[in-house]
Amino acid sequence: MIGPSGTTRLAGVIGDPVRHSLSPALHNAAFAHLGLDWTYLAFEVPAGGGADAVAAMRALGIEGLSVTMPHKAEVAEACDELSPAAAMLGAVNCVRRSGDRLIGENTDGVGFVNSLRSQAGIEFAGMHAVVLGAGGAARAVVVALVSEGASVTIVNRSVERAMQAAELGKQAASAAGLGSSMSVMVGAPGAVREADLVVNATPLGMHGTDPMPAPPELLGRGQIVVDLVYMPAQTPILEAADEAGAQILNGTGMLLFQAAEQFKMWTGRAAPIRAMGAAVGLDIAG
Ligand code: NAP
C-alpha cells in the first residue's frame, strides 16, 4: 500500500500525554500485515476535551477511537451506549461504531487476562491475587480477575478508593454467578507475601525516584509479578521480583492484548497478534 488515499479508514488514540503511545505502532502493524486500507493516528487531546473528540469521531466518520488518560470517564458519558464492562467500570478505553451509534467499550480487563494466559499460561480459578492500586487500571484488573474465579486483595494508598474497587469486584463476582463464595477484600502491603499473583497497577516505577509499590522482600519463588507499567520495560519491583526468583511480566503484553480486542471490534477481523507483538518487541505465538 502506498499511503492514505480518499478511501482510507481512520482510527486513533486520544490522550494527554499521548506522543509516547505504542498504540499507533500496534494498530498500523496490524493493518499493514492484513493489507487493510486503514491508518491509526495519535491525537493529543487535553483534559476536558474527551466529549469533543467523540463528537469529532461522529462528524468525521472516524471508525474507532482508543481512549487513554485522562479521558476514560468523560468519554463514557459521551457515548450512546456502553458495554457491560465499560458501564461497570464507568470508564471507556475504546469507542466503536454500530451504525450511527457510538458504543463505549473497555478492553483493559480482557487484555490483562489474555496477556497472562498467552505469556505465562496462567489459569486464574482458585488463584489468590494482590492488586496494588485502585485506579482505573486496577479496577479493570480486579473485575477481570474476580470474573475468572481468582480471589483478590486490594492494597492502595487511599483506603476509601480500595473499598470502592472491592465493591466493584463483589459486583463482578455476583454478575459472574460466583456470589459470596468469592473473596474480594482490602488489605495491607503484607498481603503480598501470600499471593500467587501480584499486580502493580500504580504508576510507581515509571520514574527513578519512585518508592516501591510493595515491600520487595516479600516477593519470591512461585509467584508471578506483573507490572502494568511498560516504560521502563523493567521497573525496580520487577527487578527485585526477578532476583527473588518470581516470574515477571511488564505491561506491554496487556497493552498488546487490549489493542487486539479493539482491532477486532473495529475491523471485524481476527487481530494478527504475532505481527502486533513484533511491533512492540514481544515474541508472541499466534
Ligand atoms: P489512576 O487511575 O490515576 O490510578 C493510580 C493508582 O495509583 C491509584 O490507586 C493511586 O492511589 C496509586 N498511586 C499513584 N501515585 C501513588 C503514589 N505516589 N503512592 C502510592 N500510590 C500511588 O491510573 P491508572 O489509569 O489506573 O493507571 C495506573 C498505571 O497503569 C499507569 O502506570 C498506567 O500507565 C498503567 N496502565 C497500563 C496499561 C497497559 O495496557 N499496560 C493499561 C492501563 C494503565 P490513590 O487511589 O491513593 O490515589
Over residues 101-146, the pLDDT tens digits come to: 999 999 999 999 999 999 999 999 999 999 999 999 999 999 999 9
pLDDT above 70: residue 247? yes
> How many helices (H) and strands (E) would you count in the chain?
10, 12
Over residues 75-99, the pLDDT tens digits come to: 999 999 999 999 999 999 999 999 9
pLDDT, position 180: 63
pLDDT, position 177: 84
Nearest CA to ligand 1 atom 42: 137
Q: How far apart are CA 286 and CA 225, in angstroms?
A: 24
Q: Any idea where the domains of the chain sit in the sequence? A: 9-106+255-279, 109-250
* 9-106+255-279 CATH: 3.40.50.10860
Provide the pLDDT confidence category of residue 202 given band limits of 50, 70 and 90. very high
Fold of 109-250: Rossmann fold (3.40.50)
3-state secondary structure 48-106: CCHHHHHHHHHHHCCCEEEECCCCHHHHHHHCCEECHHHHHHCCCCEEEEECCEEEEEC
Cell of 66: 482508543
Long-range contacts of 271-276 (CB under 8 A, 24+ apart): 271/30, 272/29, 272/30, 272/33, 272/34, 273/118, 275/29, 275/30, 275/32, 275/33, 276/26, 276/27, 276/29, 276/30, 276/33
Evaluate whether 119 touches 96 at the Cβ level (below 8 Å).
no
Nearest CA to ligand 1 atom 31: 203
pLDDT, position 176: 83
pLDDT above 60: residue 1? no
Q: 204 CA to middle of ligand 1, Å? A: 8
Long-range contacts of 47-56 (CB under 8 A, 24+ apart): 47/16, 47/71, 48/74, 49/14, 50/14, 50/74, 50/75, 50/78, 51/75, 51/77, 51/78, 53/14, 54/78, 54/79, 54/95, 54/102
Name the percent of the chain lying above pLDDT 90.
94
pLDDT, position 35: 97
72 is annotated as an active-site residue: yes
Cell of 46: 487535553
Nearest CA to ligand 1 atom 23: 135
Nearest CA to ligand 1 atom 14: 202
pLDDT, position 285: 82
pLDDT above 70: residue 263? yes
Atom of ligand 1 nearest to the CA of 213: 20
pLDDT above 80: residue 49? yes
Atom of ligand 1 nearest to the CA of 108: 42
Evaluate whether 140 touches 106 at the Cβ level (below 8 Å).
yes
Atom of ligand 1 nearest to the CA of 138: 26
- Candidates 156, 202, 255, 258: which one to mutate for ligand 1, based on the most atoms within 8 Å of Cβ? 202
This prediction's pTM: 0.95
Provide the pLDDT confidence category of residue 272 given band limits of 50, 70 and 90. very high
Asked if 9-106+255-279 and 109-250 have one fold, the answer is yes
Which one is catalytic: 14, 23, 27, 72? 72
Nearest CA to ligand 1 atom 18: 204
pLDDT, position 162: 98
Atom of ligand 1 nearest to the CA of 133: 9
Provide the pLDDT confidence category of residue 179 given band limits of 50, 70 and 90. confident
- Candidates 228, 249, 258, 280: which one to mutate for ligand 1, based on the most atoms within 8 Å of Cβ? 228
- Quote the crossing angle between the two packed helices 252-267 and 108-120, to the nearest 10°: 120
